[in-house]
């Protein structure tokens, strides 16, 4: 595993749409491992998307304290409710804002073995899934902020 450099606001790659992963091989698993190590070695890191380390692939890692989740080609297939949340981002250090996110999301993805998984998450975990999946579309949380704090 290796620590990767996190791309910071202003880097053009953060605004680009990521490509689907066609084959989950050892290279993809290594990127996921590197992403997890990078996230764990960064202050306040609860999730990381591949564009944040300069890779335009649909890969996300999340750990909000309940264990590491590695997602390949994640997509939100259903969302419910609304919650006001406070977010920050490793690519926008020291910037925080209030925004609205779904209270509950259902996410379809592949795990690192290539098996389809469907996850139903709520609260802060739903917020984090939305935030990281937005990165795959070139959307930053600052695009959605209602008020900076």
Annotated binding residue 33: no
131 is in an annotated binding site: yes
**For residues 135 and 109, what is the distance between their CA atoms, to the nearest angstrom?**
15
**Rounded CA separation 6/51 (Å):** 9
Partner residues linked to 57 by β-bridges = 19
Burial class (CB in 10 A: 0-12, 13-18, 19+), 5: exposed
Is 135 within any annotated ligand binding site?
yes
Active site residue 66: no
Task: Pick the catalytic residue from 37, 80, 132, 137.
Answer: 132
Angle at the Cα of 90 from the Cα atoms of 6 and 119, rounded to 5 degrees? 105
H or E segment and range at residue 147:
strand 147-148
What are the residue numbers of the active site?
A: 132
Q: What residues are designated binding site for Fe cation?
A: 89, 131, 135
């Amino acid at each position: 595993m290796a620590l990767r450099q996190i791309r910071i606001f202003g880097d053009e790659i953060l605004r680009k749409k990521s490509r689907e992963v066609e084959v989950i091989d050892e290279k993809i698993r290594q990127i996921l491992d590197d992403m997890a190590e990078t996230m764990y070695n960064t202050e306040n890191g609860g999730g990381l998307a591949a564009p944040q380390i300069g890779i335009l692939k649909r890969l996300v890692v999340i750990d909000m304290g309940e264990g590491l989740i590695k997602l390949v080609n994640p997509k939100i297939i259903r969302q419910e409710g609304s919650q006001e949340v406070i977010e920050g981002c490793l690519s926008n250090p020291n910037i925080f804002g209030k925004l609205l996110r779904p209270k509950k999301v259902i996410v379809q993805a592949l795990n690192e073995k290539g098996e389809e998984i469907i996850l139903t998450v709520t609260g802060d975990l739903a917020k984090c899934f939305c935030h990281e999946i937005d990165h795959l579309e070139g959307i930053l949380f600052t695009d959605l902020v209602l008020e900076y704090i």
